[in-house]
Amino acid sequence: MSGNGRETTTHSHSSGGDRGRDGEHGSPFAPHTPDETAAMLDAIGVEAQEELFDIPEAVAFERSLGIEPRSEREIGREVRGMLGRNDELVEFLGRGHYDAYVPALVDHLADRSEFLSSYTQYQPEVTQGFLQALFEYQSMLVELTGLAVANCSMYDAATALGEAATLARRVRETSGHRVLVPELLHGGRRAVLENYIAGTDAAVETYRHDDGNADLAALESQLDDDAVLVYAENPTVRGTIEEELAEIGALAGEHDALFCLGSDPVALSILAEPASVGADVAVGEASSLGLGASGGMGLGLLATREEYLRQVPGRLVGAGTDAAGRRAYTLTLQTREQHIRRERATSNICTNQAWLALRAAIHAAWLGPEGLCALAERCVTRPRDLAERLNTIEGCAAPVHDRHHFREFLVRTDRPAADVAADLEARGFAIHAVDETLVQVCITEANAAHVDDLAAAFEVVA
Amino acid sequence: MIYDQARWTRGASEKRDGNGDESEGESEEGGEGHGKGSVYEPLLAEKRSREVGVASSLPDDLTRDSLELPALAEPELARHYTRLSQTNYGVETGPFPLGSCTMKYNPAFTEDLAALPDAAIHPERSAASTQGTLELRYRLQEYLARIGGMDSVTLQPPAGAAGEFTGILIARAYHEHRGERRAEVVVPESAHGTNFASAALAGYEVVELPAGEDGRVDLDALDAAVGAETAALMLTNPNTLGLFERDIEAIADVVHDAGGLLYYDGANLNALLGRARPGDMGFDVMHYNVHKTFATPHGGGGPGAGPVGVVDDLAPFLPTPQVRAVEQDRREPDGGADGSGTEGSAGSTRYERFAPAHSIGKVHGYAGNWPVLVKAYAYIARLGDAGLRDASAKAVLNANYLASRIDYEIPYGPFHHEFVASAGDRDAADVARRMLDHGVHPPTTKWPEAVPEALMTEPTEVESRATLDQLAAAFDRVAAEDDAVLDAAPERTSAARIDQTDAARNPRLSWHALDE
Ligand SMILES: Cc1ncc(COP(=O)(O)O)c(C=O)c1O
């Protein structure tokens, strides 16, 4: 541990009197000097730290874990080197996880340690700041969805969908066990949904699509009074915009099933409001704001009608009044939650994604209504233009679905899709191979500058 | 110490309308911001908001008509959020001894590593083009497996509760694979609420296990609770009173003899780092709470991560995908050089994703909270063996020292990284609120219920003797104060006591609801 410019000592950690600044000499994040440790042991009335442990010998671990402590600088080098083995590709990837240009202000404000290193707001008098930020986030989602109640986060879109299904089972007056989802649903979302209802007698079934939109006739023939939830997405995982959402909502309503609509805040800023097409619940990936590509980390959006308020999963921030008569914020309706209701709670969620909600809210506020709508409109025009362009390339047909698109679209390739994707990867681009003949391309402000290069590469490999 | 958290107030009507003109100006109270309707900081929407008509190239029937959102300039936003941050208490503000939450200092360098451009990748990139990410995941799986004494680890669950759900789904899949359907999960009455809720979400009936007089699992009660219907017993060790379950081997035998599995809730692992491992105690499946034990930030509620470790028998049921190393590298399998600092030694190894044979499927849309995992890796690497052992030593030392300095009854011991004091005939929440005025964050209150008016206190290793003395002084000053003072508390925080009952009775959950 030489060369890190920090004081080290030769005390061993087990002596109970060390002040190492590197892991080798004890935790660098424990401030105790040897003298302090000794005085504290003295105050307690024991000789050594080991005496404070009540671990039976039979289960004590006395070997080494084999984890070498490293200095901050060494770990920086190691992690940079390791992650440097990720190829530098321009990603045209989406299907539910989007790269976004996140303004610098978001990082700088959200990284303030008062936000980043704070806990869930169980002491509202010293956490008004975060509570207000979450209240503002909830309010923006209320505006975007048209639904009166938005919680302050689920883990991601997939778990939000799972929670919507359990919510549907709780609020539906009659029993019912069928959850109807589109055939075009991201595999991760589908798999998570299956697990969230695994504890019930509910089952997931799919309805067909017709050229990238819900096939209404198929959906209608599948609906009966045993359906508890109908789920649709706008845009769909293939980027198509659903044209008959209100009809889907009406069909669900006729059978007393809840209608759940999946979307994201950027899309919702110009597409139809969930409430206006009859949605009872809106879910989705709110990390389309405030977070760039991040290996799949998400921010689950969940909003619903006021009548289901007491069945909402997760945390809710409400406005109240303090003893000085001023408006103040607090976590509210906590009797829904696991720490009070235990096995009868509306969800098991405790730690959520609050800090990402803060980031999304700052990003939305930074864009303002014009900025957000303009960003969303570019999500409509850019894929339109790129699809048109790729369509002129021999061996490519795009868009595959004769629909409006948001951010992304399918290309049918004459060559096997996997080969096209692999050849593009060799040229520095990542796209999705969806099946044998379909690839998918997603365009956001993070990759828009590379569109010419992508088109040129398609010319070569298609 | 006496504390004044930043307090500025103004009238609610002191806001601007959509055109940016000052409206009414000062509030009725002359701008001092007292009385009903005044606020500490106006909402974004109260500062300035604007409604815009949606103009899109899409057909009208596919779009909304208009959108109304806050419309502030960047400097105004910077002030807004800076101001909000000033009314928020974090680990860097002062001591934060929330029991069971393990509020450690979050090392600054881990943030920088998680923010590296090379970490910012889409989860559906090919394995070939993301070897760095897969290697880091693999190494973290290995570290966690060693720390927990487990054979395999999934990094997918996004929080502790999600880890519990994953673990119980794994238990269920394991039993079903053996042709057994078991209906019950046994949970001690003092367990965290998520244990009950996660078991219920996985479809189990929850059997509550009463504690023995010493605050630990009572073997007779356990015998009575466990049987042919038992899928698993969920336990945390040290338990929520900070006590080590000394009979853990006997407990494991009872559960295993009945054909059940033993689940370890990793919330309290900070007490045992490098000193005892759940795998060695007989646990079959566990979650790690990286936002507690491994110092990743709590972020005002999240994101965290809740990796799950299992013994070999359960590995085929882990969520998909898992990451494995394909060409065997030159590292020694156990206890030897871990190949960490040296980039060259990893060069020959490839990493790939695979689906475990009988996988339960997925518990997160992708692969979990990846940036949080990068931070956890960096933290573990920084501490290493000796640092991890020292972290638990100092965490336990701090809890014992603090307990020895305060005038409160602590009915159960010997405790480890946390203790549960009793506020006696006072309301623990009142004591906690008054502690705020003395410049510290209070403990977790009213849980576990085994201690009346519980003050569950976990200082963690990051507090110095001086801050522990400051905490002790806060405890004791409050003990010496009159009921009337407690009733009025807190008085020096940015907001005064908040009427929770009224907030719940009359829920206003968005700025749209404020006018109603
Ligand atoms: C004992 C215990 N178990 C489980 C949990 C749940 O973990 P998480 O909040 O990460 O979901 C907590 C955390 O609050 C806890 O204290």
Instruction: For A144-157, write each residue's pLDDT tens digit.
Output: 999 999 999 999 99
Within this chain, do residues A195 and A207 fall inside the same structural domain, yes or no?
Answer: yes
Amino acid A176: pLDDT: 84
pLDDT tens for A251-290 read: 999 999 999 999 999 999 999 999 999 999 999 999 999 9
CA Rg value for chain B: 26
Exposed, middle or buried by CB within 10 Å (0-12, 13-18, 19+), for B92? middle
Within this chain, do residues A337 and A388 fall inside the same structural domain, yes or no?
Answer: no
Exposed, middle or buried by CB within 10 Å (0-12, 13-18, 19+), for A47? exposed
Q: Is the pLDDT of residue B283 over 70?
A: yes
Q: Which distant-in-sequence residues (6+ apart) come within 8 Å of B66 by Cβ?
A: B51, B52, B53, B54
Exposed, middle or buried by CB within 10 Å (0-12, 13-18, 19+), for A240? buried
Which of B48, B63, B87 is the last residue before a domain boundary? B87
Amino acid B7: pLDDT: 65
Within this chain, do residues A16 and A112 fall inside the same structural domain, yes or no?
Answer: no
Region B167-185: mean pLDDT is: 98
pLDDT class of B347 with cuts at 50, 70, 90: low
Which of B51, B69, B87 is the last residue before a domain boundary? B87
The rounded Å distance from CA A300 to ligand 1 centre is 19
Other CB atoms within 10 Å distance of the CB of residue B280: 16
Region A153-177: mean pLDDT is: 92
Region B248-252: mean pLDDT is: 98
Query: What range defines the domain where residue B422 resides?
Result: 385-504
Exposed, middle or buried by CB within 10 Å (0-12, 13-18, 19+), for B21? exposed
Please check whether residue B25 lies inside any domain of the structure.
Answer: yes
pLDDT tens for A84-112 read: 999 999 999 999 999 999 999 999 999 99
Q: Which distant-in-sequence residues (6+ apart) come within 8 Å of B132 by Cβ?
A: A82, A83, A84, A85, A86, B118
The model's pTM is 0.94
| Residue B133 near chain A (CB below 8 Å) | yes
pLDDT class of B327 with cuts at 50, 70, 90: confident
Region B371-378: mean pLDDT is: 98
Q: Is the pLDDT of residue B412 over 60?
A: yes
Chosen for mutation from A6, A21, A24, A29 (greatest number of chain B CBs closer than 10 Å) is: A29
Q: Rounded to an integer, what distance in angstroms lies between the CA atom of residue B222 and that of residue B188?
A: 9
In order, the DSSP letters of A101-117 are: PPPHHHHHHHTSHHHHT
Q: Is the pLDDT of residue A12 over 80?
A: no
Region B100-117: mean pLDDT is: 98
Interface of A with B in 435-454 (CB under 8 A): none
Please check whether residue B411 lies inside any domain of the structure.
Answer: yes
Amino acid B9: pLDDT: 64
Q: Rounded to an integer, what distance in angstroms lies between the CA atom of residue B438 and that of residue A308?
A: 41
Size of interface A-B (CB pairs under 8 A): 719
Exposed, middle or buried by CB within 10 Å (0-12, 13-18, 19+), for B55? exposed
Q: Rounded to an integer, what distance in angstroms lies between the CA atom of residue B217 and that of residue A432?
A: 52
- Tell me if B100 CB under 6 Å of ligand 1: yes
- Which residues of chain B have a CB within 8 Å of the CB of A59? 248-249, 276, 280-281
Amino acid B454: pLDDT: 98
Region B118-141: mean pLDDT is: 98
**Among chain A residues, CA nearest to B291:** A351
Within this chain, do residues A7 and A94 fall inside the same structural domain, yes or no?
Answer: no
Interface of A with B in 181-200 (CB under 8 A): 186, 188-189, 191-192, 194-196, 198-200
Which of A18, A45, A80 is the last residue before a domain boundary? A80
User: By percentage, how much of chain A surpasses pLDDT 70?
Assistant: 95
b/e sequence A181-197, b meaning 16+ C-beta within 10 Å? bbebbbebbbbbbbbbb
Q: How many domains does chain B divide into?
A: 2
Please check whether residue A221 lies inside any domain of the structure.
Answer: yes
CB–CB contact B301 A155 (8 Å): no
Please check whether residue B64 lies inside any domain of the structure.
Answer: yes
Please check whether residue A195 lies inside any domain of the structure.
Answer: yes
pLDDT class of B338 with cuts at 50, 70, 90: very low
Instruction: Answer whether A138's CB lies under 8 Å from A383's CB.
Output: no
Within this chain, do residues A316 and A425 fall inside the same structural domain, yes or no?
Answer: no
Which of A362, A388, A416 is the last residue before a domain boundary? A362
Q: How far is A276 from chain B (nearest CA, A)?
A: 9
Q: How many domains does chain A divide into?
A: 3
Q: Is the pLDDT of residue B343 over 80?
A: no
User: By percentage, how much of chain B surpasses pLDDT 70?
Assistant: 89
| Residue B39 near chain A (CB below 8 Å) | yes
Reported residue count of chain B is: 516
Amino acid A371: pLDDT: 98
Within this chain, do residues A73 and A143 fall inside the same structural domain, yes or no?
Answer: no
Please check whether residue B461 lies inside any domain of the structure.
Answer: yes
Distances (CA, A) of B105 to A20, A401, B285: 17, 51, 28
Q: Is the pLDDT of residue A13 over 80?
A: no
Within this chain, do residues A381 and A332 fall inside the same structural domain, yes or no?
Answer: no
Nearest to B161 by CA among B289, B317, B294: B289
DSSP A413: E
Amino acid A344: pLDDT: 87
Amino acid A22: pLDDT: 57
Within this chain, do residues A229 and A315 fall inside the same structural domain, yes or no?
Answer: yes
Chosen for mutation from B131, B181, B498 (greatest number of chain A CBs closer than 10 Å) is: B498
Please check whether residue B394 lies inside any domain of the structure.
Answer: yes
Look up the CATH number of the domain holding residue B476.
3.90.1150.10
Region B388-402: mean pLDDT is: 98
Smallest Cβ distance to B197: which of A271, A322, A342?
A342
Nearest to A312 by CA among A167, A125, A98: A167
Please check whether residue B119 lies inside any domain of the structure.
Answer: no
- Tell me if B194 CB under 6 Å of ligand 1: yes
Region B89-101: mean pLDDT is: 97
- Which residues of chain A have a CB within 8 Å of the CB of B165? 195, 348
Q: Rounded to an integer, what distance in angstroms lies between the CA atom of residue B330 and that of residue B347?
A: 10
End-to-end CA gap in chain A: 53
CB–CB contact B509 A13 (8 Å): no
ipTM of the assembly? 0.95
- Tell me if B157 CB under 6 Å of ligand 1: no
**A438 - beta bridge partners?**
A412
Tokens, residue B328: 């065997």
Q: Which distant-in-sequence residues (6+ apart) come within 8 Å of A40 by Cβ?
A: A32, B397, B398, B401, B465, B468
Please check whether residue A85 lies inside any domain of the structure.
Answer: no
Within this chain, do residues A329 and A397 fall inside the same structural domain, yes or no?
Answer: no
Least confident of A177-191, A295-309, B251-265, B323-337: B323-337
Which of A337, A362, A387 is the last residue before a domain boundary? A362
Exposed, middle or buried by CB within 10 Å (0-12, 13-18, 19+), for B126? middle
Q: How far is B114 from chain A (nearest CA, A)?
A: 9
Distances (CA, A) of B89 to A121, A375, B6, B299, B301: 9, 35, 11, 12, 13
Please check whether residue B393 lies inside any domain of the structure.
Answer: yes
Pairing of strands B261-266, B285-288: parallel
Amino acid A23: pLDDT: 67
Q: Order of strands across the sheet with A258-263?
A: A149-150, A300-304, A281-285, A258-263, A227-233, A178-182, A203-207
Read off φ and ψ for residue A284, nearest 5 degrees.
150, -170
Q: Which distant-in-sequence residues (6+ apart) come within 8 Å of A351 by Cβ?
A: A120, B159, B160, B161, B291, B298, B301, B302, B303, B304, B306
Q: Rounded to an integer, what distance in angstroms lies between the CA atom of residue B211 and that of residue B245?
A: 11
Look up the CATH number of the domain holding residue A126.
3.40.640.10
Amino acid B8: pLDDT: 65
Instruction: Answer whether A266's CB lies under 8 Å from A372's CB.
Output: yes
- Whole-number average pLDDT of chain B: 92
Which of B32, B62, B87 is the last residue before a domain boundary? B87
Region B377-389: mean pLDDT is: 97
- Whole-number average pLDDT of chain A: 94
Amino acid B480: pLDDT: 97
The residue among A337 and B400 whose pLDDT is bigger is B400
Please check whether residue B74 lies inside any domain of the structure.
Answer: yes
Angle CA(A179)–CA(A183)–CA(A187) in degrees, nearest 5? 90
CB–CB contact A49 B146 (8 Å): no
Residue A11 amino acid letter: H
pLDDT class of B4 with cuts at 50, 70, 90: confident
Region A299-311: mean pLDDT is: 97
Please check whether residue A161 lies inside any domain of the structure.
Answer: yes
Nearest to B419 by CA among B410, B407, B409: B410
pLDDT class of B158 with cuts at 50, 70, 90: very high
Amino acid B11: pLDDT: 58
Q: 């300035």: which residue's tokens?
A: B48
Query: What range defines the domain where residue A184 resides?
Result: 104-362
Amino acid A339: pLDDT: 84
The rounded Å distance from CA A419 to ligand 1 centre is 45
Q: Is the pLDDT of residue A8 over 90?
A: no
Within this chain, do residues A278 and A426 fall inside the same structural domain, yes or no?
Answer: no
DSSP A154: B
pLDDT tens for A211-225 read: 999 999 999 999 999
Q: Rounded to an integer, what distance in angstroms lies between the CA atom of residue B267 and that of residue B278?
A: 12
Residue A120 amino acid letter: T
Q: Is the pLDDT of residue B153 over 70?
A: yes
Amino acid A25: pLDDT: 81
Beta-strand runs (E) in A223-375: 227-233, 258-263, 281-285, 300-304, 317-321, 327-331
CB–CB contact B378 A128 (8 Å): no
Q: 């103040």: which residue's tokens?
A: A328
